[in-house]
Amino acid sequence: MDQQDNQITDLFVIGGGINGCGIARDAAGRGLSVTLAEMNDLASATSSASTKLFHGGLRYLEYFEFRLVREALIERETLLRAMPHISWPMRFVLPYHDDMRFDSETPTSRLLSTVMPWMRGRRPAWLIRFGLFLYDHLGGRKILPGTSSLNLRSAPEGAPLQDKFETAYEYSDCWIEDSRLVVLNARDAESRGATIMVRTEVTSAERVDDVWHVTIRDQDSGETRITRAKMLINAGGPWVGDIIQSKIHVKSREGVRLVRGSHIVTRKLYDHDKCYFFQGEDGRIIFAIPYEQDFTLIGTTDQDHTDPSVPPVCTEVEQDYLCAFATKYFAQPVTREDIVWTYSGVRPLYDDGASSATAATRDYTLKVDAQGGAPVLNVFGGKITTYRRLAESALEKVAEHFPDLPGPWTAGVALPGGDFPVDGAQNLVDGLLADYAFLEPVWAARLIRAYGTEARTLLGDAKDVADLGEDFGASLTAREVAWLMDKEYARKAEDVVWRRNKLGLRLTADQIVRIGKWMEQQVQLEKTA
């Protein structure tokens, strides 16, 4: 018989992606008792496989999704203030020339084709300028600069591009370290009383006397137990539909559309720090983004993905597509030989019946089922930029079942390490270099961009590199890995080098194996202590 917890928690959250962790943080901050279970590592699926942007979604204006774009644009600056270590402003360059044609079936393109048939297949310059005007003004910018024009013949941003591109529009959006965002939300939730469990799978849940009885299994030990909750939050991402059907067995008319988004990381293709926004002949867009100092990130694709249990991979076809897409803009062709890494994730979009994966809405839908007793909230869709607003909307639904629940509180409240001004990262880097003479500038910048003001706590009283323990390479030391295990739920080497940071791009396979063995030794030492 499974062991049963004596206490009943208010909320049990299934899923340790950005939506689950964002909801857990908001709920814990309002005084609810919260338990969250993630069957793998935090951010191990969709939330670590994004294009790493806080953005309004310029292309969504073509689908008339003005509410979604406005909400996302407002959120950019709200989030910047709360996490200036893992998010920062970035300028985006949109090259344009008159001969560009697109096979697009957006509502905007259909309207243009009807009113002005000669415009079929084109996004005229005036339409782009109008879209950027809306983009600048829908969200009430206070921090980010507005749109400007570039002469690519003279501007350095034109140097990597083909000569046919003479003009570009430059606008603002933001970078985000996506998987770190998830972890920091989980940490903040835990600091406010939530229980965060990783590598813990929900195998089933049933309503018993108006309470959810949730059976969970520890993935490492295989042990199972039952925990009880007044309300269930299904934030399972790609598995949200599977959880509804096979784990909690509730009826739902809502569906999820799984869309695979793949990215390639190449050698560094240009020297400046701005992102390119490229428009394709098929009506799609991709970004080319400076990545981890020495690389360029290119993505994404949109392909339907039928089964969440099948791990998404960037196929050879997708790699060729992204290379060919970028080559239509860059002066030097982008080839498969330039690729150093690929990654792919599955977006759990709300199924709105759109004709293509590209056209499917990125908005979120929240549905509560309380017909069978204890309520369950199912989370469909969403995008990383609006995760905090999604969490607030989820708590509005929760509040219907928990009277006198306090109101929203998360806007602008700093995540761990983010308690410094938006433009203050370099000052923190300079401070580390002054106080820790053994640090190199790139190392100090990496620590600040990962841990913010907590970088000092991590380094502690270290006087030289030897004080930080074993050196695993690429500036990763035993003290940092211990921090990630103790503070940030890391259990395996891949958690460290591909989600808590991206040092997997710089470490060898043998070095990563050595990290894993060291982590296993620490777990054994803790068990025998």
Q: Looking at residues 461-475, what average pLDDT do you find?
A: 98
Q: Both 523 and 432 in a single domain?
A: yes
* CATH number of the CATH domain containing 496: 1.10.8.870
- How far is Cα 304 from Cα 346, in angstroms, rounded to an integer? 9
Does residue 409 lie within any of the structural domains?
A: no
pLDDT digits (tens, 9 = 90+) for 130-175: 889 888 888 878 899 999 999 999 999 999 999 999 999 999 999 9
Which runs of consecutive H residues, i.e. helices, occur in 162-227?
Answer: 178-191
Residues ≥6 apart with Cβ < 8 Å to 261: 49, 50, 51, 299, 300, 301, 302, 344, 345, 346, 347
Q: Both 339 and 190 in a single domain?
A: no
Does residue 68 lie within any of the structural domains?
A: no
Q: Residue 194's pLDDT band (boundaries 50, 70, 90)?
A: very high
Does residue 417 lie within any of the structural domains?
A: no
The position carrying tokens 């959120």 is 75
Q: Both 100 and 125 in a single domain?
A: yes
pLDDT digits (tens, 9 = 90+) for 374-403: 999 999 988 899 999 999 999 999 999 999
- How far is Cα 214 from Cα 9, in angstroms, rounded to an integer? 11
More confident residue, 464 or 140: 464
Q: Both 226 and 375 in a single domain?
A: yes
Does residue 92 lie within any of the structural domains?
A: yes
Q: DSSP string of 74-100? A: HHHHHHHHH-TTTEEEEEEEEEE-TT-
Q: Both 12 and 24 in a single domain?
A: yes
- Element of type H or E holding 240: helix 240-242
Does residue 207 lie within any of the structural domains?
A: yes
**Whole-structure pTM value:** 0.94
**Residue 161 belongs to what domain range?**
83-176+257-347
Give the count of domains, the chain. Answer: 3
* CATH number of the CATH domain containing 11: 3.50.50.60
Q: Both 137 and 18 in a single domain?
A: no
pLDDT at site 359: 54
- Among 128-137, 170-179, 237-246, 479-488, name the one with the lowest average pLDDT: 128-137
Q: Both 109 and 194 in a single domain?
A: no
pLDDT digits (tens, 9 = 90+) for 492-514: 999 999 999 999 999 999 999 99
Mean pLDDT of all residues belonging to the chain: 91
From first CA to last CA, the distance across the chain in angstroms is 30
Q: Both 162 and 265 in a single domain?
A: yes
pLDDT at site 65: 82
pLDDT at site 353: 63
Of 303, 323, 347, the last residue of a domain is 347
pLDDT digits (tens, 9 = 90+) for 8-49: 999 999 999 999 999 999 999 999 999 999 999 999 999 999
Q: Both 135 and 267 in a single domain?
A: yes
Q: Both 283 and 172 in a single domain?
A: yes
* CATH number of the CATH domain containing 145: 3.30.9.10
Q: Both 201 and 337 in a single domain?
A: no
- Among 128-142, 422-436, 447-461, 510-524, name the one with the lowest average pLDDT: 128-142
Q: Both 153 and 192 in a single domain?
A: no
